Amino acid sequence: MILISLQRGVIDGLSFTWQPIQAFRLDELINTHTNIPFYNSTFVISMNKEKYNNLPDDLKKVIDDNSGAEMAARVSKVFDVSNAKAMAAAKEKGDIMIDIPDPLNDPDWKGPLMEGSQHYLDEVNATGLDADNVYEKAKAASSACMV
């Protein structure tokens, strides 16, 4: 659907990590990329707890040995390599790269990003959920994880 929307001019751009650009053959249609450090993909693999508890111990061990923080770190490295290859291919093709390394301190980006974030929080808050509190906790957790 994205490919068709780009081909027909329905959309002019999209927000993606690098790897799907090649996987979905979007590199055949786009030649300009804006790199900002605001994209995050979350993948969750879950299992019904009752089903897990009913497994024999040897199978539980296989799952336990191949899940959790260590597995997440290994998988993230795979995505990092894949993203780097896709970015390198775009550069090799001669695509235009626009880098915005610190958008919250860039006068052209800070206002719209903050406005968009606040608009989203306001919409979620309007449903009765405490989006502001969750957002503040997420920012604190993110800061604690910075290397």
- pLDDT digit string, tens, across residues 67-117: 888 888 888 898 889 989 999 999 999 999 999 999 989 999 999 999 999
- Tell me: pLDDT of 147 over 60: no
What does the radius of gyration of the chain's CA atoms come to, in whole angstroms?
Answer: 20
Instruction: Show the domain range for 144.
Output: 102-147
- The confidence score (pLDDT) of residue 55 equals 97
Q: Mean pLDDT over residues 50-77, rounded? A: 92
- Tell me: pLDDT of 138 over 80: yes
Is the distance from CB of 96 to CB of 105 less than 8 angstroms? no
Same domain, 76 and 140: no
Confidence grade of residue 146 (pLDDT, cut at 50, 70, 90): low
Same domain, 65 and 82: yes
In the structure encoding, which two tokens stand for residue 115, read together? 């406005």
Same domain, 97 and 138: no
What three-state secondary structure class fits 143? Answer: helix
Same domain, 90 and 109: no
Same domain, 58 and 12: yes
Same domain, 120 and 93: no
**Distance, CA of 49 to CA of 120 (rounded, Å):** 33
Instruction: Output b/e per residue, 21-37; b: 16+ Cβ within 10 A.
Output: bbebebbeebeebeebe
Same domain, 14 and 80: yes
Q: What is the pTM of this model?
A: 0.69
Place of tokens 């775009």: 90
**Per the structure, how many domains does the chain have?**
2
Confidence grade of residue 39 (pLDDT, cut at 50, 70, 90): low
DSSP per-residue string spanning 41-74: --------HHHHHTS-HHHHHHHHHT-SHHHHHH
Same domain, 94 and 106: no
